[in-house]
A and B are shown apart, each in its own frame.
Chain A
Amino acid sequence: MSRNSLKWLPAIVVPAVVITGIVALPLQAGAAVDLPDKSAKDVLLMVADSDVTAFSGEVEKTANLGLPSMDVSAGLSPGMVDQMSEQVPEGMEDFVPGAAATGAMAAALELFSGSHTARVYVDGPDKVRVQVQDSLAERNIVSNGTDAWLYDSESNTATHAEIPAELTADIEEKIAAAQVLAPADLSTPSQIADRFLSEIDPSTTVSVGTDGVVAGRSAYELILTPKTTETLVESVSIAVDSETGLPLGVTVRAVGQEDPAFRAAFTEIDLSAPASTLFDFTPPAGATVDELAVPEMTDGQKPELTPEQQAEVDALRAAPPVVTGEAWSTVVELPADTIPAELRENELLAELTTEVDGGRVLSTSLVNVLLATDGRVFAGSVPVAQLQAAASAQ
């Protein structure tokens, strides 16, 4: 009998060991590290002094804004919209732009819901490749200084845009010019850090939190906490690599929510320069290639705009968004007609918003948007009541 019960030992011990390992390993990885103490200014200086220009890594983004997690983008791919526009009966074409708007909106919403993983490759300021990894699909953004490509494996389409040479040349000149023009007391990073801290001091407390480990590297945590209570943001914390000063992650916490509302951080990082072939992109055979027209730069002057774009710019100039409140409790007001009526009547939008006094509210844990009945839009990281107050004040 005792021999038999001994034989049951592995059945108990092995699962116990495996479960302990599963529970203990992540705890150990997230264990607190003890770095030499630094002030908030020192950490800011490290970020400013950081000379990392090339790295590759994996970034994980998790958004938990209280929006329903939607898979609408998958349900309505651009290909399907194209197909619909071919198949709609005559006289019904008006429906399709609405559906296309839904697709664009779903893509925007996607960023703010659920989690995504992306691999990022950076070499210098103008060579960037981002690979957003979807299940059995991938979206690529490649920029090598002269060309920018967007490739979507699911629809097998590549979008190409040429980057005007002046644009890249200009950046360095402009930075040099800005440095000359900068006030004398901002000539060193240390002074810039001082200035930054004193500028945000009235609204924000800047502190250094507990040291932690991000992507296997020890990191300082710089925490920005709003001083006002009239905001939905509880804190914004930035993880800064203790060796190189490279920011490794951002976490935004919302008031009254335990899980971070938004978090984007490296899960893996390699500080060596990625292979240069990664930045050369040739659209694969069989892919649909769209050329994206970039407005021509004439003599380094204002870019030429199409009449429609010009109209948009003029409209924006005529009625600029009204900003009330300050710092964290800023409320932005957009005039009526900014949002096209068809988007307003969009079913997806109706599903997302709730009826309140004076309009409909799109409520998330970080941002509230009030679509007033008269067409104006109010948005801010503030409680709904404040948006309603702003709407009724004018």
Chain B
Amino acid sequence: MSSSDVTPSTTTATADAPRSRVPLGLDLVGSELSVLFRRRRTWAMLVAVALIPILLAIAVRLSSDTLAPGEGPPFLDRVTQNGLFVGFTAMIVGIPLFLPLTIGVVAGDTIAGEAGQGTLRYLLTAPAGRVRLLLVKYIGAAAFCVAAAFTLMIVGILIGALLFPVGPVTLLSGDVISVPESLLRSLLVASYVTVSLLGLSAIGLFISTLTDVPVGAMAATIVVSVVAQILDVLPQLSWLHPWLFSHYWLGFADLLRQPLDLGSFADNILVQLCYIAVFGALAYSRFSTKDILS
């Protein structure tokens, strides 16, 4: 009896000691995530994102007109026949503006927000180091990308299933897949959109190191995402298009073809990695040489 009482306490003690000493980053990530997701602003943005599919589904449900194929955003005419299309349509509507907007707010706030509140100094007095802080902040922004994309998709599926019949899904190629497989593809689309937003998050992180005014960094990040999309439609710049971070944003349509085409997913990952590398390096250089005054 007494021996069994002793053993667990000693094991936890030995396990705890290295955990608190070595991977200090993990604790930092944990606290960053809990701060991020306990903020009212974060929840407000996630609710706004969730409203996209909800409003879309309700509007389609309430309108008496049946849509002709090809009218409105893609897939909108299929929504009445199959609720699973709500998620896809909402993703198409959300990705050009709503999602970049929320990412701009979160990524732009990362460093500038702390600087603006005067808490950056205290964060750096803890033996965290600037590189680690930058990494933790980026992981926080990436976690928000995951949350936003999956909220949009999952809420879309739920509201679609609630208001419309659910059945096998017709892919762009005309082939039909079962409900479980279509759910799998929906999650794949959400992952694709998450990856799509990582490049913009890195840009936002860099811009955030440039200023102490968080609103400025947020606005600049959103402007960058709009400018990239404008450049993407100018035919004179076609050589640049494959390297714009927004170029593959709508490429998740390739995940709705049969056989599954992962080519654009791979291209998307490559482009986003380039942006993460370049703007991560810029953010490191800027932040590690910056005079922290606040």
Contacts and interface: CB of A to CB of B under 8 A. Distances in A.
B174 A158 contact: yes
Given A10-B284, A285-B176, 7 more contacts: A7-B284, A8-B285, A22-B274, A138-B257, A156-B78, A283-B174, A284-B175
B122 to A, nearest CB: 22
Contacts of B92: 136
Interface residues of B, number: 37
Nearest to B258: A278
Contacts of B180: none
A156 B167 CA distance: 17
Interface stretch (B18-26, B31-39, B65-73, B185-193): B65-73
A138 B173 contact: yes
B174 A151 contact: yes
A131 interface: yes
Contacts of A10: 281, 284-285
Interface string A283-313: 1111100000000000000000000000000
Measured as residues with beta carbon below 8 angstroms from the partner, the interface class of chain A is: 35 or more
Q: Which of A69, A131, A284 gathers the greatest number of chain B CB atoms within 10 Å?
A: A284
A157 interface: yes
Q: 4 closest Cβ contacts across the A-B interface?
A: A14-B281, A11-B285, A284-B170, A151-B174
29 contacts: A4-B289, A7-B288, A7-B289, A8-B289, A11-B286, A14-B280, A14-B281, A15-B281, A15-B282, A22-B274, A58-B263, A77-B70, A79-B69, A135-B250, A136-B74, A136-B250, A137-B74, A137-B253, A138-B173, A138-B257, A151-B173, A154-B69, A154-B70, A155-B69, A156-B69, A156-B78, A278-B259, A286-B78, A286-B81
Given A154-B69, A286-B78, A18 B274 contact: yes
Contact of A83 (B68, B250, B253): B68
A79 B168 CA distance: 24
A79 B235 CA distance: 28
Given A7-B289, A22-B243, A138-B173, A69 B235 contact: yes
B278 interface: yes
B257 A133 contact: yes
Contacts of B257: 119, 131, 133, 138
A58 B235 CA distance: 23
A12 to B, nearest CB: 8
Contacts of B254: 133
Contacts of A393: none
A373 interface: no
Contacts of B167: 285
A55 interface: no
B70 A155 contact: yes
A311 B149 CA distance: 60
Report which residue of B69, B254, B259, B274 has the largest number of chain A beta carbons within 10 angstroms of its beta carbon: B69
Contacts of A287: 170, 174
A286 B176 CA distance: 11
Contacts of A284: 170, 174-176
Interface of B: 68-71, 74, 77-78, 81, 92, 167-168, 170, 172-176, 235, 243, 250, 253-254, 257, 259, 261, 263, 274, 277-278, 280-282, 284-286, 288-289
A275 interface: yes
Contact of A156 (B77, B175, B274): B77
A14 B174 contact: no
Interface in A57-98: 58, 69, 77, 79-80, 82-83
A362 B263 CA distance: 38
A298 B229 CA distance: 58
Contacts of A11: 281-282, 284-286
Contact of B173 (A7, A131, A286): A131
Nearest to B77: A156
Given A7-B285, A136-B250, A137-B74, A79 B68 contact: yes
Nearest to A119: B261
A79 B66 CA distance: 13
A80 B278 CA distance: 46
A284 B176 CA distance: 6
B174 A281 contact: yes
A28 interface: no
Interface centre among A7, A155, A158 (most CB of B within 10 A): A7
Contacts of B71: 79
Contacts of A157: 69
A231 B19 CA distance: 78
Nearest to A281: B174
B269 to A, nearest CB: 14
Given A155-B69, A286-B170, A14 B278 contact: yes
Residue of A138, A275, A285 with highest tally of chain B CB at under 10 A: A138
A13 B77 CA distance: 50
B207 to A, nearest CB: 14
A9 B71 CA distance: 52
A151 B172 CA distance: 9
A362 B110 CA distance: 57
A136 B289 CA distance: 45
